[in-house]
Amino acid sequence: MEVMSIPSVKANGATIPLLGLGTWDLRGRTCTRIVEHALRIGYRHIDTAEMYDNEREVGEGLRASGIKRSDVFVTTKIWPDHFAPRELERAARESLSRLRLSEVDLLLLHWPNPRIPLADTLGALGQVKREGLTRHIGVSNFTVALIEQAVALTTEPLVCDQIEYHPFLDQSKVIAACRKHDMAVVAYSPIARGKAGDDRMLARIAAAHDKTAAQVSLRFLVQQSIVVIPRTSKAERLAENAAIFDFKLSPQEMTEIAALARRDGRIIDWSYSGRPNWD
């Protein structure tokens, strides 16, 4: 089987493969099988979280693939209920024990939690890094204001902000804040939960490159050095979502795609996290 080679981005000392496999909602045998297959065809980055309830299966897929542990970049995330310092360390240890790994490559704060001082949570996150439970630390769903606060408070460098990003959403402000601090942007829902696959303009651009609309959505992101973590439950789509490094969108196509962004383009509802108005 031909194994593809995937470029990486560098951020505050971390080297992160530009393509990862998202695993939200993948459960049981499907999860194990998809993780194993993805690694066999060349994916080298897997994204999970304690909240996804699949860390055990992700770890099983990793071992079943036969790929060396050190060749795979594994990310997991701490749920905001566990941001009090002692809770955070316990949650990190529990994630590692479900994954059956001695360390992850990247440990993220999954969502902001306004009820616990950010300085305390970041202090604990830095501590688990120093204890060797993770090689790198970062955040997810942080706004520009929160990134600035976090960078000022953290005891260890933050290597990314994982945020919703796809052609239907403008994230230029958060991206600029990340770049200012040498943090990578990791795009979740990079094919807009499948919506990109149905878009007529993306399909037209895709046809010109002999690609699919989903591949154009992913290419739009990686061409800006944004890390993408598309999810699929279908093994045949793993190769499709990875075949995004052998073509280039023109500057005009990039501009056209960026113009798809809408004020209401967000898919993930922030309100469920109890998020107040942060900006």
Residues annotated as part of the active site: 52
95 CA to centre of own chain: 17
Binding ligand NAP (rule: CB under 6 A), the pick from 115, 234, 248, 262 is 234
User: Please, what is the Cα angle at 178 between 176 and 179, to 5 degrees?
Assistant: 65
Strand 134-140 relative to strand 73-78, pairing: unpaired
Report the distance separating Cα 66 and Cα 113, nearest Å.
38
CA quadruple 32, 37, 40, 43: dihedral, nearest 10: -90
At 36, which helix (H) or strand (E)? helix 28-41
Phi, psi angles (nearest 5°) of residue 26: -85, 130
Which stretch, 64-72, 126-134, 231-239, 246-254, contacts ligand NAP (CB under 6 A)?
A: 231-239
Binding ligand NAP (rule: CB under 6 A), the pick from 95, 113, 171, 241 is 241
**Positions in 52-71 near ligand NAP (CB under 6 A):** none
Which stretch, 2-10, 20-28, 113-121, 244-252, contacts ligand NAP (CB under 6 A)?
A: 20-28
Nearer to ligand NAP, 4 or 251 (CB): 4
CB contact at 8 A, 135 and 74: no
**Positions in 123-162 near ligand NAP (CB under 6 A):** 140-141, 162
**Shortest Å distance, C-beta 253 to ligand NAP:** 19
Binding ligand NAP (rule: CB under 6 A), the pick from 17, 22, 61, 167 is 22
Interaction between residue 232 and ligand NAP (CB under 6 A): yes
CB contact at 8 A, 43 and 20: yes
Interaction site with ligand NAP (CB under 6 A): 22-24, 47, 110, 140-141, 162, 188-194, 197, 212, 214, 229-234, 237, 240-241, 268
